[in-house]
Amino acid sequence: MIHLAFRASNTDIFKLLQNCPRIRAIQVPSSYRKTLSRASEMFLVMQGVELIEGEVWGHRKDINEYYSIDEIVILRIARLRASGANPNEIADAVSRETRLSPQLVKYLIKQSS
């Protein structure tokens, strides 16, 4: 999974998937999501890549190029799921606690099923 911090063109999307064929999700800020072409969206769907809206809060690229989701977040999702919370409730709670986007949390929920 990656986060794009720039407005990706069709060429950018194609080259990204060509160079990184194992990508399963791409997160983009909501303002960039609105400008993504239909062709790029359809290409991502055909490649089985999920498009997620959201920001990466508290991450400084000048310090570390990568952001890892802490295991504690995954455990929190598992605990909430075990307590009977539905995916929307889990996404809201974890999003408030971690500042991860609700869509990213829903993706994590789906992947941990």
What pLDDT, on the 0 to 100 scale, is given for residue 32?
85
Are 33 and 53 a contacting pair, CB within 8 Å? yes
pLDDT tens-digit readout, 40-79? 999 999 999 999 888 765 545 555 555 678 888 899 999 9
Q: How confident is the model at residue 5 (pLDDT cuts 50, 70, 90)?
A: confident
Average pLDDT over residues 9-34: 89
CA gap 101, 94 in Å, rounded: 9
CA gap 26, 51 in Å, rounded: 5
Give exposure, 34-63, as e/b (b: 16+ Cβ within 10 Å): eebeeebeeebeeeebbbbbbbbeeeeeee
Place of tokens 């303002």: 31
What pLDDT, on the 0 to 100 scale, is given for residue 1?
85
User: Domain coordinates of the chain in residue numbers?
Assistant: 1-66, 68-113
pTM score, whole prediction: 0.63
Angle separating helix axes 87-98 and 71-82, nearest 10 degrees: 150
The 3-state DSSP composition of the chain as helix, strand, coil percent (nearest 5) reads 50, 10, 40
What pLDDT, on the 0 to 100 scale, is given for residue 100?
85
| pLDDT beyond 80 at 36 | yes
